[in-house]
Structure 1
């Protein structure tokens, strides 16, 4: 077995009780695969004669019972296993379903040990993937794994082809999980902006002069250019994940990681129906409930302690419990309940009309610049045609 040096593979010690059975066990650490589980490669050779074969199968059965983790344990943490080799079981026929064991050229004791071995592998989530028969119509080379893989006949083997053992290509790239890279974006923290400098910066601009010397498009661009300039100069930035916060504020990083792992194994179980995936999902689900309860209790305790010194913390807690920021279904104005969009809109109109201050009838005269240096366009009197409005309305997103 050849492994790249960067994968830091190491052999697992095989007990002397397994001799003379030929077994090679290689483990690749999870951190070298960008995964959360180790990868075990087990290669074996089972002798073809009945008596030695019975000994080899019995030794393999004891080895797997000792080395494989207990799937019923609460601390069960599944790894990825690839178990393959020359098993020399011509009396076992493999189809796309369960294997069929025949009595030809084998003793009852040997068949019993083979049945126990196959049951043990199935119980631990192993599946057999090789159904390619040799020139005699047998499948001697078996490939078991606890994950999904792609298997095909190798067209260009490195050694001379053996008709009894067709060369195989095994693609196990599914276990290599690339790191989930979230796109970080800069968001403005407006509550920490320096609004004194912003007001000073904007008040130093002669807006009347600047607007009168520009057409409508140029005036709007000038306005936004100065606003964005103030934001860039006086509003700090904060790096955050694209899409914003999707979890409550009391969710810790470990709890979010548990959620991602739980969802991953739930999807695998739904897709492949593997009991190992469901066991892993059940363990993570129980862990999620325990960690979620602990995180919320800690956040609630810290909020209660902070309210004593800063009462505004209560509103931070209230906003974190709010399910959404949508418009309410009902408002109250002067002891009158307003329901529906039209009533709420009319109520807002009535309220703002009651507090609106009408402008004075006269304004002090303003010295305007030379008309020759001004534009014919005016922001107060823009020229809008019906076709332009229709085009813009069609571009609106009705969703």
Structure 2
């Protein structure tokens, strides 16, 4: 994140739910090259807070836009509001504890903003800031705002889905790339890039998964708890194959997979004469 000094690039919302933006009218040439290179790594620009001139100078790129929230905060001076409005960036970081199922967060959509305004109006800021340094004033302001948030913003509980243990940054990047191409294909009607991204994701996921299974299997004697945790996770997993290989053919398409199953069973089924003779029933 930072000021990338690209004032001529126009950003429009591509995913309103997660506030993902895509560039249009990219000029000059070096700006187009930079954006093409950085987005090729599976990251997305998510800052939509514009300055007083309706410009976006401060950009925020991330490959995990699902867990990032961007919001504006009151500026400390008019200069900040004119060129670089203050930005509050909240990122939910979930450690790899698969036993964690719920987290508590503040729900700002259900906050009592009327009560917050009333609370702030009753604060004598002149008295609070009297004979204080700039750093002390900022600390006091943050404390007052935090007190208001604690009083009037309710707490909500969210369920956290544990990430798969073999996931890494490259796999997450490919997942984001696949989701992005899927959304683009709905507007363009061309799903070639989506299918290419899906194929890359499937191959890497299969490779990492097989490596993880080998690791768990090899540690059965030294760490049996990890093995049985893995077995238990498979009880509630989706049994449909993500990628199916039969002979030299491999496919992620459900219809093609069904045809491959049909071919397999057809080749392995032989009509055998019945060993039982019909008898008359009395």
TM-score above 0.5: no
TM-score, normalization: structure 2? Answer: 0.37
**CA radius of gyration, larger in:** 1
